[in-house]
């Protein structure tokens, strides 16, 4: 595979993450309503410049009804990138709108966003810049290193947490209303050793993730496989659907940096 084929694979995967995210909001429009916590009347108060002299520009696209149109167009742009057809210009425009839409989402409200949204924005920008032929290799390196930074930061933060080291973190999260899963909570809460082993497995995988780049093929496969299982588990148990696609979208770059070069 060439550099551009690796980039194209990452592009399709990040587009899937964006499509899933947009669809989640479109099927539950009340989340972004003007009367909700994630609505624009609340979001525009978070920064002075949102209500300044240029506030009318944001007002034109950020109200609930107009922002749903932005989401629908962004969803369509993401679908265009997922499908293996379309000329260069339409695909670049679609990727550009996906990136702009990700930035608008961050501006509209500081509530309800997570690492997957940030990864979509960062990787989307890198893929857009990678359309310049001479920077394809640098873009793949950037995406791979960004993924390692995200995993390692999360892993070391967990290692520093007494709650994670004690094995109470996973049962605690799985016992919540938003991210909980009743069956998984009962299993982990009833078996503290299993909960602690699961917690240490997550910490070890995240903290050791940069080892995927050293070029040992079995080790790279093992770490990426653990990452796949981890994100698939969080998607099923915690309903973190976009995390799977957003972070797996960085794996082609990791494979390229570690092995394909």
Mean pLDDT of the chain: 89
Whether residues 65 and 95 fall in one domain = yes
Whether residues 145 and 209 fall in one domain = yes
- Residue 49 has a pLDDT of 66
Q: What are 108-140's pLDDT values in tens digits?
A: 876 666 788 889 999 999 999 998 878 999 999
* Domain edge (last residue) among 116, 131, 146: 131
Whether residues 182 and 80 fall in one domain = no
Whether residues 207 and 85 fall in one domain = no
Domain encompassing residue 24: 1-131
Whether residues 170 and 191 fall in one domain = yes
- How far is the C-alpha of 117 from the C-alpha of 18, rounded, in Å? 8
* Domain edge (last residue) among 131, 152, 176: 131
- Residue 112 has a pLDDT of 61
- Residue 205 has a pLDDT of 95
Provide the 10 A C-beta neighbour count for residue 48: 8
Q: How much of the chain, in percent, has pLDDT values that exceed 90?
A: 61
Per-residue buried b or exposed e for 206-229, using 16+ beta carbons within 10 Å of the residue's own CB? bbbbbebbeeeeeebeebbebbee
Whether residues 212 and 120 fall in one domain = no
- Residue 179 has a pLDDT of 86
Q: Which of 55, 60, 74, 234 is nearest to 154 (CA)?
A: 234
Q: What are 225-253's pLDDT values in tens digits?
A: 999 999 999 999 998 889 999 999 999 99
Whether residues 153 and 228 fall in one domain = yes
* Cβ atoms of 129 and 257 closer than 8 Å: no
- Residue 59 has a pLDDT of 76
- How far is the C-alpha of 240 from the C-alpha of 238, rounded, in Å? 5
- Residue 261 has a pLDDT of 63
C-alpha dist (Å) from residue 79 to 15, 19, 23, 87, 105: 7, 7, 11, 14, 18
Whether residues 220 and 149 fall in one domain = yes
* Domain edge (last residue) among 131, 157, 185: 131
Whether residues 168 and 102 fall in one domain = no
Q: What are 69-112's pLDDT values in tens digits?
A: 999 999 999 999 998 777 889 999 999 999 998 888 888 876 66
- Residue 83 has a pLDDT of 87
- Residue 188 has a pLDDT of 92
Q: What is the 3-state secondary structure (H, E, C) of 201-243?
A: HHHHHHHCHHHHHCCCHHHHHHHHHHHHHHHHHHHHHHCCHHH
Q: How many domains does the chain have?
A: 2
Highest mean pLDDT among 58-72, 137-151, 179-193: 137-151
């Amino acid at each position: 595979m060439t550099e551009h084929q690796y980039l194209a694979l990452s592009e399709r995967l990040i587009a899937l993450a964006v499509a899933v995210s947009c669809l989640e909001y479109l099927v539950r429009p009340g989340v972004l309503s003007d009367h909700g916590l994630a609505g624009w009347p609340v979001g525009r108060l978070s920064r002075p410049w949102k209500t300044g002299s240029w506030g009318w520009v944001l007002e034109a696209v950020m109200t609930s009804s107009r922002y749903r149109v932005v989401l629908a167009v962004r969803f369509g742009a993401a679908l265009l990138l997922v499908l293996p057809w379309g000329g260069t210009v339409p695909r670049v425009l679609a990727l550009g709108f996906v990136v702009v839409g990700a930035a608008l989402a961050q501006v509209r409200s500081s509530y309800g966003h997570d690492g997957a949204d940030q990864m979509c924005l960062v990787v989307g920008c890198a893929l857009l810049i990678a359309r310049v032929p001479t920077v394809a290799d640098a873009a793949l390196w950037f995406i791979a290193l960004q993924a390692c930074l995200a995993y390692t930061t999360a892993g070391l933060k967990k290692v520093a947490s007494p709650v994670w080291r004690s094995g109470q973190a996973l049962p605690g999260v799985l016992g919540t209303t938003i991210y909980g899963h009743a069956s998984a909570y009962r299993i982990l809460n009833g078996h503290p050793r299993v909960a602690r082993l699961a917690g240490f497995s997550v910490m070890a995988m995240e903290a050791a993730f940069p080892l995927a780049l050293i070029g040992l093929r079995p080790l790279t496969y093992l770490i990426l496989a653990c990452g796949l299982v981890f994100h698939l588990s969080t998607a099923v148990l915690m309903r973190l659907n976009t995390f799977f696609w957003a972070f797996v979208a960085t794996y082609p770059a990791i494979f390229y940096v570690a092995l394909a070069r």
